[in-house]
């Protein structure tokens, strides 16, 4: 993914985060290419679905599309655990029912790693700690 494409994804994520209605035609226009549009819609659906799940069980549900894109960028769109495969799923390293769908509890993972949730992974633990510190220092993610 080029820097220009990343800029477009973040620009659209910011537009969505600002409370604009999620009108598919407008998102398609802002995405500029069909490939960008497909990425944005897929990840927006992923985030929305996880936030809805968290709200249903009354746990924190603060993850935004921008937060998720930042996390994906932090891991270069790879699995946070093995960093050998492209991510396939959003993984909650701590149970959803305990920590919710928040920037500090959502990581990109491949199916195998998410299934076994290698929470002891030192790099993942360091990232989660830094993410929590960022939230404390800036009041957001």
Q: Is 77 left (phi over 0), alpha (psi -120 to 50) or beta?
A: left
Residue 77 has pLDDT above 50, yes or no: yes
- Please tell me the distance from the alpha carbon of residue 25 to that of residue 14, in angstroms, as a whole number: 17
Q: What is the pTM of this model?
A: 0.87
DSSP assignments along 51-79, one per residue: HHHHHHTTS-B---HHHHHHHHHHTTTB-
- Please tell me the distance from the alpha carbon of residue 121 to that of residue 58, in angstroms, as a whole number: 28
Q: Decide: 111 and 99 in contact? Cβ < 8 Å.
A: no
Q: How far apart are the first and last CA of the chain?
A: 23
Alpha-helical runs (H) found in 3-100: 3-17, 24-31, 34-56, 65-74, 96-99
CA atoms within 13 A on the CB side of 139: 0
User: Which residues lie across from 61 on neighbouring strands?
Assistant: 101
Q: What is the pLDDT of residues 20-48, one digit of tens each?
A: 777 888 999 999 999 999 999 999 999 99
Q: What is the pLDDT of residues 125-138, one digit of tens each?
A: 888 888 878 765 55
Q: What is the pLDDT of residues 62-76, one digit of tens each?
A: 999 999 999 999 999
């Amino acid at each position: 993914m080029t820097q220009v494409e990343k800029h477009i994804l973040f620009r659209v994520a910011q537009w969505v985060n600002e409370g604009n209605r999620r009108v598919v035609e407008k998102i398609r226009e802002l995405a500029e290419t069909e490939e960008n549009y497909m990425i944005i819609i897929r990840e927006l659906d992923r985030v929305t679905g996880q936030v809805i799940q968290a709200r249903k069980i009354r746990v924190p549900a603060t993850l935004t599309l921008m937060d998720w894109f930042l996390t994906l960028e932090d891991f270069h769109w790879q699995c946070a655990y093995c960093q050998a495969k492209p991510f396939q799923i959003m993984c909650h390293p701590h149970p959803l029912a305990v920590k919710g769908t928040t920037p500090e509890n959502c990581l990109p993972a491949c199916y195998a790693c998410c299934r076994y949730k290698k929470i002891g992974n030192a790099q993942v633990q360091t990232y989660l700690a830094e993410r929590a510190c960022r939230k404390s220092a800036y009041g957001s993610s």
